[in-house]
Structure formats: structure tokens, C-alpha cells
Chains A and B, each alone.
Chain A
Amino acid sequence: MATVETRGVRKHFGHVRAVDGVDLQVARGEIFALVGPDGAGKTTLLRLLCGLLLPDAGTATVAGVDVLADPEAARRRLGYMPQRFSLYGDLTALENLRLYAGLYQVPAAAFRERSERLLGEFRLLPFAGRLAQHLSGGMRQKLALACTLIHAPEVLFLDEPTTGVDPVSRRQFWRILYDLNRAGLTVCVSTPYMDEAERCSRVGLMDQGRLIACDAPGALRAAMAGEILEVVAEPRARARRHLRHHPLVRSLEVFGDRLRVLVDAAGAAAPELRAALEAAGVAVRSLRPVRPTLEDVFVARLTAAGGQDAGRASSRREA
């Protein structure tokens, strides 16, 4: 049974359709990732699910509670960590936790047990007495998560929790999310990092307020229209110029010393591209099909919709 469910949920701001008829189901125990271009409606959808915004149409239930009919009851069962979580810099880590526990009317005994357990699991115990403003970025992020969990919610919503977080802290944060998930928590997280989405049980791709794809990462990769060729060639700038304008190439990305090229069929394109590069005086070190990443899937989906010019992302969303 779905623990998060929306039907035809819609929210307009003036003439912008921020969320435009989304049907979503997340089962108990999933880690669900929400991805999509800037302004696709991810934050609005999360806020609707948490009862912080009223939809113009549609329904939303979380942990069996109708969010519209009883937002207070829904909020007791869910935790929401927004992009900018408010910690009080002049309170200690423990005082911040106590404040949030108070807002949710957590009984004193439960608070003692949970605060100790959360601070311990997040390796924050030595810093319990430190002012929040003196914690490092990664620690503040973990403290914000602890505050979000102090009322023991069944479903956790996180809005881009790792934006602006360094790679090491990002890994540590995800370790914690996996542990929480294994312990039974349902997690819905929006992220601009495709490698994070890659490791979730399912991924929803939003664009222009709609959910345009929703499946397990492997299934999304398998359904991708096109294949990826990885090219290592010298000189790289010349290789890039020739490939970018080749009729078989749908899109091209520079990744370090390699070029990743989206084509319709790798088997047919590989010999042709190799020949074209060599004819142009480019030394091809390697040219081989590689497994698409979720980022490839994302780009293929979105470029198929509207071309890859710089105006794309901004030119197609007005109602």
C-alpha cells in the first residue's frame, strides 16, 4: 500500500503551473528521488505533500492521513527538511533539538531517548553543547535532520539536502539516510545530483509541473531512447567540434578527458564516427559504448522535448 499518494494534485501561482496534475505513489519503505530541471515544481510538490501549501485541485495522503482534511495530523506523521532549514545559531545543538521537540509536543522521556539516539547515530554527541552557529556545514545539516526526526515521523521529506555540501559530508549524509531507511523510514528526497538518484529505489522526473517519468533507475536506463558512446581522442577540441556537428550525434558532453556522445544506435554510429574523426586528423584512442547514467537519461528526455539551446529551460513553462 502506498504511504505517500497524490491524485491529480495541482497548484498554480498566477499564470505559472507549478504543479500540474501529478499522480504519485510511494510505497512504505522506499527511498524515492524527485529530480527535474530548475523550476520544474519539485519544491512545490514537496510542500503540498507536507500540508504547507493548499493545492488548487487533487488529493494528497501521507501515512494514511488526508493532508488536506487534517494537515495537523499529517504533520505529526511526517518530517520535512526544507532547503533552508532554520536552526537557531545562538542555541546549542541540544537546545535546538529541544525546541523542535517542544513544537511537536514530544514527551520528556521520549525526547531524552530520541535526542540521545539521534545525536549518537549522527556522531553529534560530542557537540551537543556547542552553539549551532559554531558547527561545520556538514554538522549543521545533520543537526537539521535530527530536528526533523525528533517527533519520530513515518515519512521523511527532504528538499535538496545536499546542495552546497562537500563530497565527503554528502557521502556521510547519505549513509545516514540509508540507515534510517533500513530501519523502516520512508524517504522522499529531491536532488540535483543524479548519482544520488541513481541509488534510490525509484526516481520521479518532473518537468513543467508534471511527472514525466517514474520508475526504478535500472528501468529508466533500459528505456532510454538512444545509446552512449565514450570517446577518448586527441586533440580533444577538434574531436569535440567534429562530433558536435555530426548528423548522428544528438548531444555531446565533455567529461574530463573523455567525450560522451548520445546517438540513436551505438553499433551503427561507432564505425562512422571513428572514420569521420580520423579523416579530420584526430587520433582516436578509444571509442566504445558505455552504460548510460541516469544523467544521460535525464538529458535525453529533456533534450528530446525541446532542443539543447540555452533558452530551453526557461522557454517552455508558462501556462
Chain B
Amino acid sequence: MAVAVRAEGLTRRFGAFVAVDHVSFEIAPGEVWGFLGPNGAGKSTTIRMLCGVLAPSAGRAEVLGYDARRHPEAVKARIGYMSQRFALWSDLTVRENLAFYAGVYGLRGREARERIAAWLERLGLLDRQDALAGTLSGGYRQRLALAAAVLHRPPVVFLDEPTAGMDPLSRRQFWELIRGFAEDGTTVMVTTHYMDEAEHCDRLAFIDQGRIIAQGSPAEIKARQMVGHVLEVRVEPLIEALAVVEEHPAVREAALYGAAIHATVDQPEAGPALAAALAARGFAVEGVEPVLPSLEDVFVALVEAREREAAA
């Protein structure tokens, strides 16, 4: 398999704290690869090592065959990096920001102008091109940051929470763009807290406390990592019902999921008993049925299991 991005035993310590702990993975060219985990799990630190802006304490980070530690300039020339806190110039306009980054990437004259115009249009920023970056709402700022990161058409793109704060429609459009990059052969490594977005990834990895605790395609991860079955409970009033579901002996875990409750149980046959228990307490039960676990169910189950281990 050709490899676009490789981490091998990648480790980073800050004093006594191990932020990234022997992380290994490979990303194929043209893949959309998701990196999920709680805040502070080590996602951004891993990306910064892959981009050659932070030296690893141990292990190797490699992009398109270049060791990010020994050849950081070669790596930087081939990647786009959209960080969580992007260095936009708030007192420059949208267009001026892009012109600035075009200069950084060595794009000049007509080529720079054409690229900028194309991205302004593709990202729906045309009407805002003369607005000061500092006055943009969160979602628009993210779009501008993406445009700045991919202006020079890099073969590998690192996106650190690119859709944070975007509205649902913009997120859909954003993911169409990401899919478009991948279809053109661009390799995309992306972090997100939106589990519906994670479902769009070809493959993904979960990281917690610096360690990768699961990786594979969304379907593989669900099949492998989900211990037990998920029941979807439709009931009113929802919040009050949650406490009852949680305390039911057949239920291992329960959480709100959209306008329903997802309950993790060992036996899917527990459904009718749970429905009866809720009805007996006066709740209006619309239905209790087994559903396929979502990545959010898996994420929460994995992290909570580790928290329980840590507490024990």
C-alpha cells in the first residue's frame, strides 16, 4: 500500500506529561482519515508533529516519504494545515488575507488572483471578500481559514476541527468539499467532535489520553468496539425518563440521542421490560427498538469505559 502519512511509535512528552504515547497509523493517498477523541487527548499535538512544527520525543512522523523531523521544510511545502486557532489577520479583509497567504506560498500575479477568486467562489465568500476578517462570524472564519490552507493545492491536508461552530447546512457543504478533495487525490486528515461527520470518513482512529484505542472503518469500529446492543427509547417527557432508564437493571448505560434515549443493554430482548417499567412510572412510551450503534454511541462507550477503569 502506498502511504501518504505515517506515524510510527510517535511520542511527545511535555515534562512528565505524555501528550502522545506511541501512536502508529498509516493513511493512504486520497483517503479521508478521521481523528477522534476527547479534548486534550493528543490530536492536535499529533498533527503538529506530522506537520513538522513540533519535534517528537520519540518515534517517526512521515509525510509523502519525508521524515517530518529531518526534512520539515519538504513536508511543509507539501501540506496544508488548518489549525484550531488560525492566524487570520483580523484587520485585513478576506481577500487581503488570502493574498497574504498566496505570497507566503510563493504564488504570484495572475495565478494568485485566479486561485483566490476560485476559492472565494467555491467557499461562498464572494460577498464577504471586502469584509474585515475580524468581523466574520465563526462559520465564515472557518471557511476563510480553509481557503488559506489549501490555496497552494497541497497533496496532503490536515484539518483540525474545521467545522467547529458551523451551521448544519454549511457543514454539509464543507464535507462535500472535503469529499471533492479526496476524489481529486488529496489526502485528508481531519479531527472533529461531530460524530455524524466521522461517519463520512473512510477510516478513523480514536485517541484517548495520548493512545490510540481503536482504528478502522466506521463499520469495523462499530462491529468491534461496541459491547452490547443499543435500544432507542422514544418517550415523553424525555429528560425525566432518562433517570428511570439509567436505573433499570438491564441497562448498562443511557444517554440522550437527538429526541430519544439510547440505552446500551446486554440482551436486545430487554426492550419490552424497559418499556413496561417506563409505562408503569407514568411515562408516555412511543417505542423501544434495537438500532445499529452510531459512532457517537461507540465514542461515549469507549471513553466512559476508560474513565471507569481509571477510577477503579
* Cβ–Cβ contact B38 & A313, under 8 A: no
* Cβ–Cβ contact A169 & B168, under 8 A: no
User: B163: nearest residue on chain A (CB-CB)?
Assistant: A192
A128 to B219, CA, bound (A): 42
* Cβ–Cβ contact A136 & B170, under 8 A: no
Interface stretch among B47-55, B68-76, B253-261, B277-285? B253-261
User: B195: nearest residue on chain A (CB-CB)?
Assistant: A167
In this assembly, does A51 line the interface, its C-beta being within 8 Å of a C-beta of chain B? no
A299 to B257, CA, bound (A): 19
User: A253: nearest residue on chain B (CB-CB)?
Assistant: B172
Contact with A along B13-43 (1 / 0, CB 8 A): 0000000000000000000000001111100
A314 to B41, CA, bound (A): 35
A171 to B256, CA, bound (A): 8
Q: Report if A312-B124 is in contact (Cβ < 8 Å); known contacts: A165-B193, A255-B196, A295-B168.
A: yes
User: B38: nearest residue on chain A (CB-CB)?
Assistant: A166
Q: Report if A311-B121 is in contact (Cβ < 8 Å); known contacts: A163-B165, A194-B168, A253-B172.
A: yes
CB distance from B138 to the nearest CB of A (A): 7
In this assembly, does B96 line the interface, its C-beta being within 8 Å of a C-beta of chain A? no
Contact with B along A252-275 (1 / 0, CB 8 A): 011111000000000000000000
A179 to B165, CA, bound (A): 25
In this assembly, does A204 line the interface, its C-beta being within 8 Å of a C-beta of chain B? no
* Cβ–Cβ contact A217 & B259, under 8 A: yes
Interface core residue of A255, A303, A313, A315 (most chain B CB under 10 Å): A313
Which A residues, 154 to 168, have Cβ-Cβ distances below 8 Å to chain B? 160, 163-168
CB distance from A129 to the nearest CB of B (A): 19
Q: Which residues of A contact B193 (CB under 8 A)?
A: 164-167, 170
A255 to B197, CA, bound (A): 8
Q: Interface extent on B, as a size class?
A: 35 or more
* Cβ–Cβ contact B219 & A293, under 8 A: no
Contact with A along B251-281 (1 / 0, CB 8 A): 0000111110000000000000000000000
A209 to B197, CA, bound (A): 28
Interface core residue of B41, B84, B195, B239 (most chain A CB under 10 Å): B239
Partner of A168, one of B164, B258, B299: B299
A5 to B239, CA, bound (A): 26
Q: Report if A38-B139 is in contact (Cβ < 8 Å); known contacts: A298-B168, A311-B121, A313-B169.
A: yes
CB distance from B90 to the nearest CB of A (A): 13
In this assembly, does A39 line the interface, its C-beta being within 8 Å of a C-beta of chain B? yes
In this assembly, does B210 line the interface, its C-beta being within 8 Å of a C-beta of chain A? no
A317 to B127, CA, bound (A): 9
In this assembly, does A37 line the interface, its C-beta being within 8 Å of a C-beta of chain B? yes
CB distance from A113 to the nearest CB of B (A): 26
* Cβ–Cβ contact B127 & A37, under 8 A: no
CB distance from B301 to the nearest CB of A (A): 10
Interface core residue of B136, B165, B176, B238 (most chain A CB under 10 Å): B165
Q: Report if A313-B138 is in contact (Cβ < 8 Å); known contacts: A38-B167, A137-B39, A256-B218.
A: no
Which A residues, 294 to 319, have Cβ-Cβ distances below 8 Å to chain B? 294-295, 298-299, 302-303, 308, 310-315, 317-318
* Cβ–Cβ contact B258 & A198, under 8 A: yes
Which A residues, 140 to 194, have Cβ-Cβ distances below 8 Å to chain B? 160, 163-171, 174, 178, 182, 192-194
In this assembly, does A138 line the interface, its C-beta being within 8 Å of a C-beta of chain B? yes
User: A44: nearest residue on chain B (CB-CB)?
Assistant: B137
CB distance from B69 to the nearest CB of A (A): 28
Q: Which residues of B contact A137 (CB under 8 A)?
A: 39-40
Which residues does A use to contact B, with CB under 8 Å?
13, 35-40, 43, 83, 136-138, 160, 163-171, 174, 178, 182, 192-195, 198-199, 217-218, 253-257, 293-295, 298-299, 302-303, 308, 310-315, 317-318
Chosen A-B contacts, 13 in total, with CB atoms closer than 8 Å, are A38-B170, A83-B165, A164-B39, A167-B299, A168-B299, A168-B304, A193-B194, A294-B259, A295-B168, A298-B167, A299-B172, A310-B124, A315-B126
Given contacts A37-B139, A167-B303, A310-B177, 16 further A-B contacts (CB under 8 A): A39-B139, A43-B137, A83-B165, A169-B38, A192-B168, A195-B257, A195-B258, A253-B172, A255-B199, A256-B199, A256-B294, A257-B218, A298-B167, A313-B124, A314-B128, A315-B127
